[in-house]
Structure 1
Amino acid sequence: MKYPYIDNTLFISNRAAFVKHLKNNSIAILNANDEYMRSGDQNFNFKQNADLFYLSGIDQEQTILLLYPDCPNPLYREVLFLRQTNEHIAVWEGHKYTKEEAQRASGIQAIYWLEDFDNILQSIAHYADTIYLNTNENDRSEITVPYRDLRFIRQMKDRFPLHHYERMAPILRGLRAVKSTIEVELTRKACSITRDAFIRVLKFVKPGVKEYEIEAEIIHEFIRQGATGHAYSPIIASGNNAVILHYTDNNQVCKDGDVILFDFAAEYANYNADLSRSIPVNGRFTKRQKDVYNAVHRVMIEAKKLLKPGAVWNEYQDEVGRIMESELIGLGLLDKHDVAKQNPKVPLYKKYFMHGVSHHLGIDVHDFAGRYTPFEAGNILTCEPGIYIREEGLGIRLENDILLTTDGNIDLMADIPLEAEEIEELMNEV
Structure 2
Amino acid sequence: MKYHPIDSKLFIKNRKNFMAQMKPKSIAVFNSNDIYPISADSTMSFEQHRDIFYLSGVDQEESVLLLFPDCPNEELREVLFVRETNEHIAVWEGEKLTKKAATKTSGVKTIYWLQDLEKVLFEMITYADTFYINTNEHYRASVETETREGRFTKWLLAKYPAHNVAKSNPILQRLRSVKEQIELDLMQHACNITEKGFRRILDFVKPNVWEYEIEAELMHEFLRNRSKGFAYTPIIASGNNANVLHYIENNQQCKDGDLILFDIAAEYANYKSDLSRTIPVNGKFTDRQKAVYNAVNHVKKEATKLLVPGTLWKEYHVEVGKIMTSELLKLGLLDKADVQNEDPKWPAYKKYFMHGTSHHIGLDTHDYGLLHEPMQANMVFTVEPGIYIPDEGFGIRLEDDVVIKEKGEPFNLMQNIPIEAEEIEELMNS
TM-score, normalization by structure 1: 0.99
Cα distance in 2 for residues equivalent to 1:326 and 1:405? 28
Give the aligned partner of residue 161 of structure 2: 161
| Cα separation, 1, equivalents of 2:24 and 2:128 | 9
The CA distance in 2 between the partners of 1:147 and 1:55, in whole Å, is 19
How big is each residue's C-alpha offset from its partner over 1:133-176, in whole Å with a ceiling of 9 and x where there is no partner?
10111110111111112211210111000100111000000000
Q: Is 1:190–2:190 an aligned residue pair?
A: yes
For residues 215-230 of structure 1, the aligned pairs below 5 Å read: 215-230=215-230
Structure 2 residue identity aligned to 1:64: V
1:28-47 matches, within 5 Å, as 28-47=28-47
2:21 is aligned to 21
Alignment of 1:323-334 (within 5 A): 323-334=323-334
1:418 equivalent in alignment to 2:419? yes
Q: For residues 98 and 154 of structure 1, what CA distance do their matches in structure 2 show?
A: 29
Instruction: Identify the residue that residue 143 of structure 2 maps to in structure 1.
Output: 143
Question: Could you say what secondary structure the match of 2:187 adopts?
Answer: helix
Tell me by how many angstroms 1:38 deviates. Answer: 2.1
Using the TM superposition, give the Cα deviation of residue 337 of structure 1 relative to its aligned residue in structure 2, in angstroms: 2.1
AA in 1 matched with 2:56: S
Between the aligned partners of 1:349 and 1:105, the Cα distance in structure 2 is 49
Residue 202 of structure 1 aligns with which residue?
202
Q: State the Cα distance separating 1:344 from its structure 2 match.
A: 1.6
* Secondary structure of 2:10 counterpart: helix
Cα deviation, 1:73-92, whole Å, max 9, x if unaligned, reads 12211010001112222111
Q: Distance in 1 between matches of 2:338 and 2:185?
A: 46
Equivalent residues in 2 for 1:207-286, closer than 5 Å:
207-286=207-286
The equivalent of 1:126 in structure 2 is 126
Deviations 1:70-120, CA, capped at 9 Å, x for gaps: 112122110100011122221111111111111111001111110010110
- Residue 52 of structure 1: CA displacement? 0.5
Partners in 2 of 1:139 and 1:113 — Cα distance? 35
SS at match of 1:24: coil
Q: Secondary structure at the match of 1:29?
A: strand
The code of the aligned residue for 1:420 comes to A
Instruction: Give the aligned length.
Output: 429
Aligned letter for 2:85? T
Query: Partner of 1:178 in structure 2?
Result: 178
CA distance in 2, matches of 1:149, 1:115: 17
In the alignment, what sits opposite 2:66? 66
1-side partners of 2:311 and 2:5: how far apart?
A: 35
Which amino acid is the alignment partner of residue 78 of structure 2? E
After TM superposition, give the deviation of residue 338 of structure 1 in Å: 2.0
User: Matches of 2:40 and 2:369 in 1, distance apart?
Assistant: 37
Matched to 1:383, the amino acid is: V
Aligned partner letter, 2:312: V
Aligned residues: percent identity?
57
Greater Cα shift, 33-42 or 278-287? 33-42
Match of 2:106 in 1: 106
SS at match of 1:117: helix
Q: Distance in 2 between matches of 1:53 and 1:158?
A: 26
Deviation at 1:126, TM superposition (A): 2.3
SS in 2 for 1:229: coil
SS in 2 for 1:225: coil
1:339 corresponds to? 339
Could you list the per-position Cα deviations for residues 44-79 of structure 1 after superposition, in whole angstroms to 9, with x for gaps in the alignment? 111111111110011111100001111121221101
- SS of 2:233's partner is coil
Match of 1:365 in 2: 365
Q: Is 1:77 aligned with 2:77?
A: yes
Q: Does 1:384 align with 2:379?
A: no
The 1-side partners of 2:121 and 2:188 are apart by: 39
Paired position in structure 2 for 1:427: 428
- Pairwise CA distance, 1:407: 2.3
Distance in 2 separating the partners of 1:17 and 1:30: 15
SS of the residue aligned with 2:79?
strand
The residue type paired with residue 419 of structure 2 is L
Q: Which amino acid aligns with 1:38?
A: I
Q: Secondary structure in 1 aligned to 2:81?
A: strand
Secondary structure (helix, strand or coil) at the match of 2:27 reads strand
CA distance in 1, matches of 2:46, 2:305: 38
Q: Give the AA of the match of 1:364.
A: D
Give the superposition deviation at 1:343.
2.1
The CA distance in 1 between the partners of 2:344 and 2:135, in whole Å, is 36
The CA distance in 2 between the partners of 1:46 and 1:344, in whole Å, is: 44
Query: Take 2:53 and 2:46, find their aligned partners in 1: how far apart are those partners?
Result: 13
Separation in structure 1 between the aligned mates of residue 43 and residue 248 of structure 2, nearest angstrom = 22
Residue 346 of structure 1 deviates from its aligned partner by 1.6
Amino acid of the residue matched to residue 227 of structure 1?
Answer: S
Match of 1:354 in 2: 354
Q: Counterpart amino acid of 1:170? A: P
Give the match's secondary structure for 2:382.
Answer: strand
Give the match's secondary structure for 1:421: helix
Please report the TM-score for the alignment, with normalisation by the length of structure 2. Answer: 0.99
2 CA distance for matches of 1:135 and 1:85? 29
d(CA) in 2 for partners of 1:204, 1:382: 26
Code of the residue aligned with 1:29 in structure 2: it is V
